[in-house]
Chain A
Amino acid sequence: MTEHFDVIIIGGGIVGLSSAYYLGLKGKKILILEAGGFGHGSSGSCDDMILLQSKKPGINLRLSLESLELYRQLVNDWGVEELEFLNLGGMILIQNQQELSIMEDFVQQQQKIGLDVTIVDKNEMKSLQPYVSDRFIASTYSNMDSQVNPFSVMRGFLTRIKKMGGEVRFYSPVKSLQKKASGSWIVKTSKDDEYYSDVIVNTAGAWAGEIGKMVGEEIPVSPKKGQLVITEKVPSLGKTNLWSASYMVTKLRPDLAKDNSPDNGIGLGFSFTRTTDGNYLIGSTREKAGFAKQNSYEALRAVVSQAVDFLPVLNEVHFIRTIAGFRPASVDGKFILGEHKSVPGFFTAAGHEGDGIAMAPVTGKILSEMVAGENNKQDYSELSPDRFKLQSTDNERVFNVVGSKR
Chain B
Amino acid sequence: MTDKDVFICRCEEITLAEIEQAIDEGFVTVNDVKRRTRAGMGLCQGRTCGKQIARIIAQKTGIPLESLLPGTTRSPVRTEKMEIFKGEQDV
Q: Which residues on the B side are within 8 Å of A317 (C-beta)?
A: 81-82
Q: Which residues on the A side are within 8 Å of B84 (C-beta)?
A: 304
A37 engages B31 (CB within 8 Å): yes
CB of B45 to closest CB in A, whole Å: 6
CB of B86 to closest CB in A, whole Å: 7
CB < 8 Å A-B pair total: 70
CB of B73 to closest CB in A, whole Å: 10
| 8 A Cβ contacts from B6-61 to A | 12, 26-27, 29, 31-32, 35-36, 38, 41-43, 45
**Nearest opposing residue in chain A for B35, CB measure:** A39
Tell whether B83 is near chain A: CB-to-CB under 8 Å. Answer: yes
Given known contacts A37-B31, A40-B31, A300-B75, A318 and B82 CB-to-CB distance under 8 angstroms: yes
Q: Which residues on the A side are within 8 Å of B2 (C-beta)?
A: none
Partner of B85, one of A37, A304, A320: A304
B86 engages A308 (CB within 8 Å): yes
Q: Which residues on the A side are within 8 Å of B45 (C-beta)?
A: 320-321
Given known contacts A38-B27, A300-B75, A321-B45, A316 and B83 CB-to-CB distance under 8 angstroms: yes
Q: Which residues on the A side are within 8 Å of B74 (C-beta)?
A: 295, 321-324
A322 engages B76 (CB within 8 Å): yes
**Nearest opposing residue in chain B for A151, CB measure:** B35
Please count how many residues in chain B sit with their CB below 8 Å of the partner chain's CB atoms.
25
How would residues 270 to 307 of chain A score, 1 for a CB under 8 Å from any chain B CB and 0 otherwise?
Answer: 00000001000000000000000001010011001101
Given known contacts A37-B29, A38-B36, A44-B35, A301 and B85 CB-to-CB distance under 8 angstroms: yes
Tell whether B66 is near chain A: CB-to-CB under 8 Å. Answer: no
Tell whether A315 is near chain B: CB-to-CB under 8 Å. Answer: yes
**Nearest opposing residue in chain B for A262, CB measure:** B90
**Nearest opposing residue in chain B for A323, CB measure:** B74
Tell whether A247 is near chain B: CB-to-CB under 8 Å. Answer: no
How would residues 323 to 345 of chain A score, 1 for a CB under 8 Å from any chain B CB and 0 otherwise?
Answer: 11000000000000000000000
Tell whether B79 is near chain A: CB-to-CB under 8 Å. Answer: yes
Tell whether B3 is near chain A: CB-to-CB under 8 Å. Answer: no
Q: How large is the interface on A (under 10, 10 to 19, 20 to 34, 35 or more residues)?
A: 20 to 34
Partner of B82, one of A44, A170, A315: A315
Given known contacts A37-B31, A151-B35, A151-B36, A319 and B85 CB-to-CB distance under 8 angstroms: no
CB of A326 to closest CB in B, whole Å: 15
Q: Which residues on the B side are within 8 Å of A39 (C-beta)?
A: 35
Tell whether A155 is near chain B: CB-to-CB under 8 Å. Answer: yes
Tell whether A231 is near chain B: CB-to-CB under 8 Å. Answer: yes
CB of A279 to closest CB in B, whole Å: 8
**Nearest opposing residue in chain B for A44, CB measure:** B35
The 5 closest A-B CB pairs, nearest first, are A315-B83, A318-B79, A39-B35, A37-B32, A314-B82
Known: A319-B82, A322-B74. 16 other contacts (CB 8 A): A40-B31, A151-B36, A232-B43, A232-B79, A277-B38, A295-B74, A297-B75, A301-B85, A304-B85, A315-B81, A315-B82, A316-B81, A318-B80, A320-B43, A320-B76, A321-B45
Interface residues of B (CB under 8 A from A): 12, 26-27, 29, 31-32, 35-36, 38, 41-43, 45, 74-76, 79-86, 88
A-B contact pairs, 23 of them (CB 8 A): A37-B29, A38-B27, A38-B36, A44-B35, A155-B36, A232-B79, A297-B75, A304-B85, A305-B86, A307-B82, A308-B86, A314-B82, A315-B81, A315-B82, A317-B81, A318-B81, A319-B76, A319-B79, A320-B42, A320-B45, A321-B41, A321-B76, A323-B74
